[in-house]
Structure 1
Amino acid sequence: MKNSILLIVTFLFSTVTMAQDRKQKDTEWEQKFEQLGTMLPTPNVYRTASGAPGHQYWQQKADYKMKIVLDDNNQTITGTEDITYYNNSPDDLEYLWVQLDQNMRARDSDSPLIGRSSMRDTLSALAVFRLTGDSDYDGGFKIKSVKSSGQDMSYIINKTMMRIDLEAPLKSGQNMSFSIDWMYNINNRMTDGGRSGLEYFEDEDNYLYTIAQFFPRMAVYIDNEGWQNKQFLGSGEFALTFGDYEVDLTVPSDFIVGATGMLQNPNEVLTEEQMERFEQAKKSYDKPVIIVTEKEAKKNEKTKASDTKTWKFKAENVRDYGFCASRKFIWDAMAVKLSDGNEPLAMSYYPKEGNPLWEEWSTAAVAQTLKTYSKFTIEYPYPVAISVHTASIGMEYPMICFNYGRPNKDGSYSDRTKHGMIGVIIHEVGHNFFPMIINSDERQWTWMDEGLNTFVQYLTEQELTDQLGYEFPSRRGPAHKIVDYMSGENGLVRPIMTNSEQIRQFGANAYAKPATALNLLRTTVMGPELFDKAFKTYSERWAFKHPTPADLFRTMEDASAVDLDWFWRGWFYGTDYVDVDLSNVRWFQMQTEENGLESRNIKGAGQGIDGSNSNKDFGSDPQAFVFAESNRKYREFNQSVDNGKIKQAAEGKNFYELTLKNQGGLVSPIIIQWTYTDGSVELEKIPAEIWKINEKEVKKVFMKNKQVAKIVIDPDKMTADAYTDNNVFPRTNDGDRFEQFKEGKD
């Protein structure tokens, strides 16, 4: 009966509101709830309307057998690779495209030409160096040969892409093998920059190598695009094909090597004592076992071996390959039990300069990452996950990543350094899932790996609370942390759905905003249980496949039965922000003989309680509305309305008409905190669909048993509302912001 009463009373008020809404001009309706429709690609047999792979979905495969030599004296890498390429597409291919990412460092590279620069009154040595360049450094691949069955193949190099012409088309269902011989000079990452390269330690004349993008790699040929052969200019990362790898890495004999894949010949490259520790690590679940100690690493630093060793690795179903090598490395590892029969090794490689911080926290962070990501996406499928320490970097590859976080020379470190290191390790290890397994096209859509990964990074950081003893201070994820970016200067904000090379404010756009959007979608729109099921469905559907944005959008709706087109449109395709203005509140009670309330005209929308525009308080008395009896029959009740009962139930109740204006343009759920005069508090959430009829302004009436003292919109900053001083009623006299109310200073 209570719902019926509220329905009738709300109807009386809504008739006035509807009349006002009809005065809105059609041009003010921006169709924020229109379905995405043709904005998304047409579903087909490869990618369905549900967001799942279609029954004829296909993808290519590329297997590699490589022999790599790292020359520590000349800082070069020389390689021979045999590639077997499988054409699983329905198309015959007349040529192949191969990525040559190191060519962004070649002398004819476009990357420095398109880079922007400007002069300042004062320039550092590094700034001048980067303006003038390193005339001695000759970067880029030196391709020695491209052959098939011993015969030279015809090829042409266009910057960072190489086209290999075939004598006869590679037909659908066929495969072919060819080989490439190459070398390049390793870049000094500390001066030249880059995701891969060397760090030089002058005190002992030693190098630490973190090597990736180091070999010619097959470009992706895909159903929705054909060849992904967009040039590598530096910002957009990689689109890559899955395959199996067998890699021999030849390095000085005193080097320790970590790499994508499982070490195949530990007995040939480790001492007997190190072998025993390695086996112990496979059974240690509580803490890491140190396989190469700091004492052994310091001993290695003092002498330079003239002979070499070859470390052999195998990796299955990976999309890329990376490795690290140095005589400086300490190495520790522990097992992570994810399920019966799946106990990958979490491992860390770090020089003495990383201690004590790295010994204390690196492998623990790796282990936590595998556990949390496995819970929210898919169970980690690879045998190892490696974190490597070197200065000023955070970069990821299958099973291995390179991370910063260096203590002071005396071993001390700040909380900021500690949290930064833990955060970057979680983020880079997390990239194993996005995009190393759920293999989106980074060259086109940075947010699909960085944004999704940053979101699950946030969930992982929060699950570290027990180990840390306090809540991790996450930089990205909570809604209020994105406000400054989203409400910033118009020309500097671009949609999330922007190609990697055209993004402005890269970190905020591609990392923070999509991560915040997903966190808000989880906590405020869908709820954790429903969101987690849908997100896991997406991860499971597209593991070891090539998803697009449409596949994510469609799957999240398909697996949840929640229409989210308004959300994707606003958060991912637009640049509006959230600013809900609680512009007016009016308080009513039903007029009775007992209360003697004065019946006042209710047409004064937009005015304060006292008839002014001050919006300062509720006034001393409510306005009255007159109960109008009716004998109409309503289908909803299937009976005549019982005027007496409705009137009796409404007596003494407080009716609050809230006027809400969408000042920021981005439609959002509305979270209302009601504080009553007796001190009690109630939280109420209104779905975003309240804006469907009028995206600019809505009025809504709430019936409350108790008298309201204060109303706050989004009290816990869950919706990324940009301006919180218009979220509160009554307003303060001095215009203080919302934080003062939250701290109890009102």
Structure 2
Amino acid sequence: MLKSTLLTAGLAALLALPTVAQTTNSGTDKFAQLETLLPTPNVYRTASGAPGTDYWQQRADYNIRVRLDDEKQAISGDEDITYTNLSPDVLTYLWVQLDQNILDKNSITTATQLGEIQPKMPFQAVDYMQRSDFDGGFKISEVKLKGGRALPYVINHTMMRVDLPTPLKPKQSVTFSIGWRYNINDQTKINQRSGYEFFPEDKNYLYEIAQFYPRMAVYSDYQGWQNKQFLGNGEFALPFGDYRVSITAPADHVVGATGVLQNPNDVLSSTQRQRLSQALNAKNPVLIVSPQEAEKAEQSRAKGTKTWTYAAKNVRDFAWASSRKFIWDAMGIKQNGVPVMCMSYYPKEGNPLWGKYSTEVVAHTIKTYSKYTIPYDYPVAISVHGPVGGMEYPMLCFNGGRPEKDGTYTAERKYGMISVIIHEVGHNFFPMIINSDERQWTWMDEGLNSFVQYLTEQEWERDYPSRRGEPAKIVDYMRTDKSLQTPIMTNSESVLQFGNNAYGKPAIGLNILRETIMGRELFDYAFKTYAQRWAYKHPTPADFFRTMEDASAVDLDWFWRGWFYTVDHTDLAIAGVKQYNVNSQNPDIENARQRELAAKNPGSISQQRNRKDIAKTLVDEKPELNDFYNQYDPLTTTPADKQRYQQLVKGLSAEQQQRLGSGLNFYEVSLKNLGGLTMPIIMQLTYQDGQKEIQHIPAEIWRKNNAEVSKVFITEKPVVSFVLDPFQQTADTDLSNNAWPQQAAPSRFELFEYQQRQQPNPMQQQSALQQKEQKPLTTPAGSTGGTK
């Protein structure tokens, strides 16, 4: 709504001041500090968000021997665990995670699995419901102390308590061993974080193996033992340590794993070792095992075995992959002068995508994440292609993204594969190095990682089609019914809409902080500080929140409270605009202005119709009824008017005289916070001459009244429109109320005819056209893998 009103100079000056005397709306103060929600700082974790002077964490070192049975698709192994108590507490028992027990027939996950029967269901869904015929889970054969003494233990679903013969005092260590076996799940039927894929064409298996050994749980200063059951969503909380793992597999298999290969002379040919040496300083990926060599290996069936031994220092976990189908390429990069070998393992079914892109993506990810967080100082980074859609472990990750059998692929498949590799390799930083508790807070792992993934994607290719990152990408989720949402600060197993809540919303929240609230310089410094402080340690949400504020001098409690602790959404609205101009008091100027306005005013509807319907009024018929006022024109300037104006001007200072005649435009814009989520105001002003101006108003404008405020804009040129959040920086869920005058939100709808037959992808269409014209299809360079 537009109003034109004449004001005195004094009132105009008052409007130029910020409005401060507003009444706070009822409900929680959105700018209240978070002290009541965050844990009390102590000697272990400071109020600044940094580790305290007495910070400690436990250590677990492993020596593991594991055997892969390629005939029965089974694992057997034994391990020695040296657990060091660096806490101030005396421990009488230890908790060990048995994550494979999620596949036990009687697991909590199986018993509490939700489901429903549909009129039409895929075989895979029924297979999943009938998975009780799979004999999954760990079979523990022994738990014993170093020296052979059996240790009592109790298995509680996915957790195992090991009772110690004598209490483990601070600074003491204990070494014990565990023997186990389990059956490997078919990943195409039981979709877990690891498993096998069977290729019927050549009757080979590809194994991606993780959670394959009993793993120590975290014991921390903020919660004691992290012994929550593994139900499926909440991933893993693990202590750091050194690993030595010996993997026995069929002799014709290629085995890739976390860490550095310790016995290359025993398992690699001289040619393969030479290629690895060449790859260290290569500018492009070098094939260690070529596609031709992998295809030849597919036809072999070695009777013997080989043992591959890998070692990794200061890691929280270990994973590996094994297959005779593997093509293997590698390329070295350097981080802070330290060489990092970037590598990929993939079957021929992954080409041409994998040979062209995978290792290049690995290297790009390590470089970019190192820039935004901390330098990567592990010696290798590996991407493995197989049945798992995407899963991360130290130095090694499993990734999906397979082209069609004819080698073509859609753009969505290409970018999906690149994105999943960036995401999973990026997990080396969050949470493999900056080691948050995934069992409790998925967002600290997935959300932070998805944010840096977005930054990395944008540095891969201009305008990369990122799935997450831009605020507009989370709008559909945030406008859904609140009963279908949970706050980000919800335990991993209780989160609703897992992908949006744990990945998208925190990642986009960080992007809003970086681009709109803090600015890139302050944000990047604070985010890097958090990574530096908590590298190889166990941070909590409070440590992250406090560090971001401590390193930037920006009070963000209002943002953490709204974005992370509630399900409020952004919906800022322009409720109305009032336009004012200063009354110059000059009778010549003001009378002329009033006369111009009167000429443009057609009058009321009654007045318009009366001019037509009333031919003559009584005064028209009897002129003698006229008097002084029928001839008087109040808009004609008189000598008395000029005299009053001159006297007024004499009483004003030079500054006041200038303001009186400035001709400035005053706009009082009324704003409402309809969604409940506090955000800065980004206002675009469009002037009468077409020029645009963006004004950024910090979120603190809402501190006196969380629901509605007014803001005065003073301009030299007339404004023809105001638009809130013109670049969609704040995830505003309703753009229809963001403009004055109101604007229709542009959109389109598509007409289509339903077709059941799958359409060829663009590469297939091009191939068919070129074959028709007898032209060869252009094959991407490097499509068969790396360079020899």
TM-score strictly above 0.5: yes
Give, in angstroms, the shift of residue 14 of structure 1: 7.4
Structure 2 partner of 1:162:
160
Contact 1:147 / 1:179 at 8 angstroms: preserved in 2? yes
Cα distance change on mapping 1:71 and 1:392 into 2, 3 Å: closer
Structure 2 partner of 1:584:
576
Cα distance change on mapping 1:56 and 1:498 into 2, 3 Å: same
Cα distance change on mapping 1:704 and 1:15 into 2, 3 Å: closer
Structure 2 partner of 1:385:
381
Structure 1 partner of 2:534:
542
Consecutive unaligned residues in structure 2, runs of 5 or more: 1-8, 595-602, 605-644, 646-650, 749-788
Identify which of 149, 152, 158 aligns with 1:151. 149
Structure 2 partner of 1:374:
370
Structure 2 partner of 1:397:
393
Give, in angstroms, the shift of residue 644 of structure 1: 3.3
Structure 2 partner of 1:452:
448
Which amino acid in 2 is paired with 1:13?
A: L
What SS does the corresponding residue of 1:39 show, helix, strand or coil?
A: coil
Give, in angstroms, the shift of residue 471 of structure 1: 1.8
Residue 489 (structure 2) pairs with residue 504 (structure 1): no
Give, in angstroms, the shift of residue 134 of structure 1: 4.3
Give, in angstroms, the shift of residue 392 of structure 1: 4.9
Hey, what's the Cα distance between the residues in 2 that align with 1:334 and 1:27? Answer: 60
Contact 1:220 / 1:227 at 8 angstroms: preserved in 2? yes
Cα distance change on mapping 1:9 and 1:395 into 2, 3 Å: farther
Alignment of 1:286-685 (within 5 A): 286-340=283-337, 342-465=338-461, 470-592=462-584, 593=586, 594-596=588-590, 643-649=653-659, 651-685=662-696
Contact 2:681 / 2:724 at 8 angstroms: preserved in 1? yes
Give, in angstroms, the shift of residue 10 of structure 1: 6.8
Hey, what's the Cα distance between the residues in 2 that align with 1:585 and 1:737? Answer: 20
Hey, what's the Cα distance between the residues in 1 that align with 2:83 and 2:591? Answer: 84
Cα distance change on mapping 1:131 and 1:11 into 2, 3 Å: farther
Identify which of 720, 725, 729 aligns with 1:718. 729
Residue by residue over 1:579-616, the C-alpha shift from the partner in whole angstroms, topping out at 9 and shown as x without a partner, is: 1111111111101225417999xxxxxxxxx99xxxxx
Residue by residue over 1:102-143, the C-alpha shift from the partner in whole angstroms, topping out at 9 and shown as x without a partner, is: 0111122111111110111111111122222241x2111010
What SS does the corresponding residue of 1:562 show, helix, strand or coil?
A: coil
Residue 745 (structure 2) pairs with residue 737 (structure 1): yes
Contact 1:29 / 1:694 at 8 angstroms: preserved in 2? no
Residue by residue over 1:598-647, the C-alpha shift from the partner in whole angstroms, topping out at 9 and shown as x without a partner, is: 999xxxxxxxxx99xxxxxxxxxxxxxxxxx9xxxxxxxxxxx9743134
Give, in angstroms, the shift of residue 29 of structure 1: 4.7
Cα distance change on mapping 1:530 and 1:488 into 2, 3 Å: same
Hey, what's the Cα distance between the residues in 2 that align with 1:195 and 1:537? Answer: 32
Hey, what's the Cα distance between the residues in 2 that align with 1:17 and 1:671? Answer: 18
Query: For the aligned residues, what is the CA RMSD?
Result: 2.0
Hey, what's the Cα distance between the residues in 1 that align with 2:18 and 2:451? Answer: 43
Contact 2:102 / 2:108 at 8 angstroms: preserved in 1? yes
Which amino acid in 2 is paired with 1:520?
A: I
Greater mean deviation of Cα atoms: 649-658 or 269-278: 649-658
Give, in angstroms, the shift of residue 675 of structure 1: 1.0
What SS does the corresponding residue of 1:700 show, helix, strand or coil?
A: strand
What SS does the corresponding residue of 1:214 show, helix, strand or coil?
A: coil
What SS does the corresponding residue of 2:339 show, helix, strand or coil?
A: coil
Residue by residue over 1:516-538, the C-alpha shift from the partner in whole angstroms, topping out at 9 and shown as x without a partner, is: 00000000000001100000000
Hey, what's the Cα distance between the residues in 1 that align with 2:454 and 2:333? Answer: 20
Residue by residue over 1:550-587, the C-alpha shift from the partner in whole angstroms, topping out at 9 and shown as x without a partner, is: 00000000001100000000000011111111111111
Hey, what's the Cα distance between the residues in 2 that align with 1:558 and 1:599? Answer: 55
Hey, what's the Cα distance between the residues in 2 that align with 1:8 and 1:263? Answer: 81
Give, in angstroms, the shift of residue 391 of structure 1: 3.1
Hey, what's the Cα distance between the residues in 1 that align with 2:746 and 2:553? Answer: 35
Hey, what's the Cα distance between the residues in 2 that align with 1:568 and 1:15? Answer: 30
What SS does the corresponding residue of 2:36 show, helix, strand or coil?
A: helix
Structure 1 partner of 2:638:
none
Contact 2:388 / 2:398 at 8 angstroms: preserved in 1? no
Runs ≥4 in structure 1, deviation > 3 angstroms? 7-11, 14-19, 597-600, 641-644
What SS does the corresponding residue of 2:335 show, helix, strand or coil?
A: coil
Give, in angstroms, the shift of residue 493 of structure 1: 1.1
Hey, what's the Cα distance between the residues in 1 that align with 2:673 and 2:311? Answer: 56
Hey, what's the Cα distance between the residues in 2 that align with 1:739 and 1:647? Answer: 50
Hey, what's the Cα distance between the residues in 1 that align with 2:437 and 2:732? Answer: 32
Greater mean deviation of Cα atoms: 393-402 or 330-339: 330-339
Contact 1:591 / 1:598 at 8 angstroms: preserved in 2? no
Give, in angstroms, the shift of residue 680 of structure 1: 1.0
Higher relative contact order (CA 8 A, sep 6+): 2
Structure 2 partner of 1:698:
709
Residue by residue over 1:701-729, the C-alpha shift from the partner in whole angstroms, topping out at 9 and shown as x without a partner, is: 11111111221111111111111111111
Residue 182 (structure 2) pairs with residue 184 (structure 1): yes
Contact 2:16 / 2:714 at 8 angstroms: preserved in 1? no
Contact 2:342 / 2:362 at 8 angstroms: preserved in 1? yes
Cα distance change on mapping 1:704 and 1:95 into 2, 3 Å: same
Structure 2 partner of 1:636:
none
Give, in angstroms, the shift of residue 9 of structure 1: 6.5
Give, in angstroms, the shift of residue 411 of structure 1: 0.5
Hey, what's the Cα distance between the residues in 2 that align with 1:697 and 1:739? Answer: 29
Which amino acid in 2 is paired with 1:87?
A: N
Cα distance change on mapping 1:407 and 1:167 into 2, 3 Å: same
Give, in angstroms, the shift of residue 738 of structure 1: 5.8
Structure 2 partner of 1:626:
none
Residue by residue over 1:389-439, the C-alpha shift from the partner in whole angstroms, topping out at 9 and shown as x without a partner, is: 013510000000000000000101111000000000000000000000000
Residue 208 (structure 2) pairs with residue 210 (structure 1): yes
Hey, what's the Cα distance between the residues in 2 that align with 1:579 and 1:8? Answer: 35
Number of residue pairs matched by the alignment: 684
TM-score normalized by the length of structure 1: 0.89
Give, in angstroms, the shift of residue 11 of structure 1: 5.9
Hey, what's the Cα distance between the residues in 1 that align with 2:160 and 2:423? Answer: 32
Hey, what's the Cα distance between the residues in 1 that align with 2:352 and 2:272? Answer: 21
Greater mean deviation of Cα atoms: 324-333 or 707-716: 707-716
Residue by residue over 1:243-297, the C-alpha shift from the partner in whole angstroms, topping out at 9 and shown as x without a partner, is: 000111110010001100011111211111111111011111x211111000000
Contact 1:591 / 1:599 at 8 angstroms: preserved in 2? no
Give, in angstroms, the shift of residue 681 of structure 1: 1.1
Contact 1:727 / 1:738 at 8 angstroms: preserved in 2? no
Which amino acid in 1 is paired with 2:14?
A: L
Hey, what's the Cα distance between the residues in 2 that align with 1:315 and 1:356? Answer: 31
Alignment of 1:39-118 (within 5 A): 39-118=37-116
Contact 1:140 / 1:184 at 8 angstroms: preserved in 2? yes
Contact 1:281 / 1:335 at 8 angstroms: preserved in 2? yes
Greater mean deviation of Cα atoms: 506-515 or 257-266: 257-266
What SS does the corresponding residue of 2:403 show, helix, strand or coil?
A: coil
Structure 2 partner of 1:727:
738
What SS does the corresponding residue of 1:245 show, helix, strand or coil?
A: strand
Give, in angstroms, the shift of residue 15 of structure 1: 8.6
Contact 1:660 / 1:698 at 8 angstroms: preserved in 2? yes
Cα distance change on mapping 1:524 and 1:690 into 2, 3 Å: same
Hey, what's the Cα distance between the residues in 2 that align with 1:128 and 1:312? Answer: 40
What SS does the corresponding residue of 1:536 show, helix, strand or coil?
A: helix
Give, in angstroms, the shift of residue 185 of structure 1: 0.6
Structure 2 partner of 1:743:
none
Give, in angstroms, the shift of residue 30 of structure 1: 2.8
